[in-house]
Structure 1
Amino acid sequence: MAASKKPNETESKADGKTCFVVMPIADHDSYEKGHFKRVYDHVIAPACKAAGYKPVRADDVVKSNHIVVDILKNLVNSEMVVCDISSRNPNVLYELGLRHAFNLPTVLIKDFKTTDIFDISSIRYTSYNEDLRIDNVEKSIKSITKAIIDTASNDDDVNSIVQLLGVTKATTPDKIELDQGQSVILAQLERLMQKVEDTQQIKHSRYSEIRDEQIVQIDQKSFFVNNEHVSLGDEFYFSDTHNYAGILTGVSRGSVILYNPRNESNLVVNTFEERFERLTTNPIPF
């Protein structure tokens, strides 16, 4: 006779419903390497399955050249979203704000070590123990499962600031056609989001041979310059005028070397110069 399943087993009962999981993807220097992947695999995903949803994480949904579009579609179209605000990741909070704008069912979770965020402190959330001990994992799965089921079944539950304030929620048209300008803006937004992830993951790297307040070496060809993740060959501009500065060809302690093919000249910009702070790889004025 086949063994009967225990009530707390977390095999998927999903009937086509999706739970999009918004959480930190990159490693964070306050946690062990791979921590948030383990949180997803051992806590969040089992809880979603136990509640009757198929869990999908942001790095599972990239189907087009516009990563942001793929994420936005899942934020708007998924029946449920679980949002882990642990470590106060800026990308996570940005995506949470988008979900809240549509006032759609959302479960907030965070670990015990992350302090409360004032702006969303009025919205109910579920806490879990970040040590991932087996006994704590089982408790966390049960509490998050309950939060998902309760949120899905309670139409009066406050899912967002939009509902709390009683303002009109955002809506989407049946079809969206992106023009060239919108595509450029999306591409820049994707680049900025990637740089946020890169900053979270790399800026505390011990590899660095060149390190000061404005230049940090990542590897032989990659650097942080003015907190931007750049590589040799990237084009730079001056942020105030958006004039072309040149192509990054070299970095040393205290300066960068830019080659301008338009006049075939090299430009050395030192960190003590005022114009150094105006160097950027973003040519679009905001």
Structure 2
Amino acid sequence: MSEPTPPDGAVANFPTKPCFVIAPIGPAGGEIRRRSNQIMKYLIRPVLGRHGYVAVRGDEMDQGGLITSHILTRIANDPLVIADLTDANPNVYYELAVRHVLRKPFIQLIDSAQRLPFDIAGLRTIHVDHRDLDSVEDAKAALSRAIESIHKGEPIETPMSFAIELQDLRTSANPEEQGLAQILEAVKRIQRDVQVSRTRGASVEDFMSLRLFVERLAQEGRLTDDDIATLVTRTTAGPFDDWANSLPIKSGAFEDPWANTPPPSPPSVSSNFDEEPPF
């Protein structure tokens, strides 16, 4: 099958930027194929067309030879990859992992009734119910925002990239970078504990510990602009970003404004903490 023509709403000139779509396909005529086709037609292609992309799925590629090789080439080279994680298809996760390692732009989406596995639960993902028109419209807006963020050059963060950067900080000769590695590891440990506790009926008090820990670091003057830039990435959620950006941080010549001020009492749960953790 040849690659599709531009959808309605495409840019005036024929889009030239390819986008490879990783998705569960299923047999022709089946429910999996039907849903995947609808996601392509009503969500992905209209939005990508407006941003100058042509979206192609693996079964639409018209090339001879080993199809797996062609797919991996597209995953490695296309300027954008979209991965539909619905139904936890192993091929989808394998191909997405390749893109994660390469640290090239990608966008994840999933059926709104399904949950992400633990390893990538912290990555921003678009949730959509293809049977709900309002949900599809919301997902289209979210997809457009994600593409705009990529065009602005926001850093690509994945579990693999975080591990590599953390190792670089651990082995750095710079004491400040070594200290930052310790802070990030501590935050990650708390975050993992909170994520696990959410499945065990965790209380709001469980989530307070992470905020209070980082806020105390800020009060002690141990957070800088660079630290916040490391914590706030495209993989973190909006509420976490807003909270982290509100922290007092070191910037240039720093004079600790809390030097002679006792640390504040923990805020009340009802007034300052949501039911969900800030990530």
Alignment TM-score, normalising by the size of structure 1: 0.50
Instruction: Rate the CA distance shift 1:79–1:23 in 2: closer, same or farther, 3 A.
Output: same
The Cα shift of 1:31 comes to 4.7
Paired with 2:30 and 2:165, the residues of 1 have a C-alpha distance of 37
The answer for the alignment partner of 2:17 in structure 1 is 17
Instruction: Rate the CA distance shift 1:62–1:28 in 2: closer, same or farther, 3 A.
Output: closer
Contact 2:11 2:51 in 1 (8 A): no
Within-5 A mapping of 1:157-236? 157-158=156-157, 160-166=158-164
Paired with 1:92 and 1:100, the residues of 2 have a C-alpha distance of 12
Residue identity in the other structure for 2:82? V
Secondary structure of the equivalent of 2:63?
coil
Larger Rg over CA atoms: 1
The answer for the alignment partner of 1:87 in structure 2 is 87
Contact 2:24 2:32 in 1 (8 A): no
The answer for the alignment partner of 2:47 in structure 1 is 47
Contact 1:109 1:127 in 2 (8 A): yes
The answer for the alignment partner of 2:146 in structure 1 is 147
The answer for the alignment partner of 1:108 in structure 2 is 108
The Cα shift of 1:65 comes to 1.8
Larger mean CA deviation between 21-30 and 44-53 belongs to 21-30
The Cα shift of 1:117 comes to 1.1
Paired with 2:101 and 2:54, the residues of 1 have a C-alpha distance of 23
**1:195-227 superposed Cα distances (whole Å, 9 cap, x missing partner):** xxxxxxxxxxxxxxxxxxxxxxxxxxxxxxxxx
Residue identity in the other structure for 2:60? D
The Cα shift of 1:33 comes to 6.0
2:137 is the alignment partner of 1:138? yes
The Cα shift of 1:157 comes to 4.0
The Cα shift of 1:136 comes to 2.9
Question: What root-mean-square deviation, in Å, do the aligned CA atoms of Structure 1 and Structure 2 show?
Answer: 2.8
The Cα shift of 1:101 comes to 1.4
Alignment TM-score, normalising by the size of structure 2: 0.51
Residue identity in the other structure for 1:161? P
Q: How many residues align?
A: 159
Secondary structure of the equivalent of 1:24?
coil
Contact 1:19 1:55 in 2 (8 A): yes
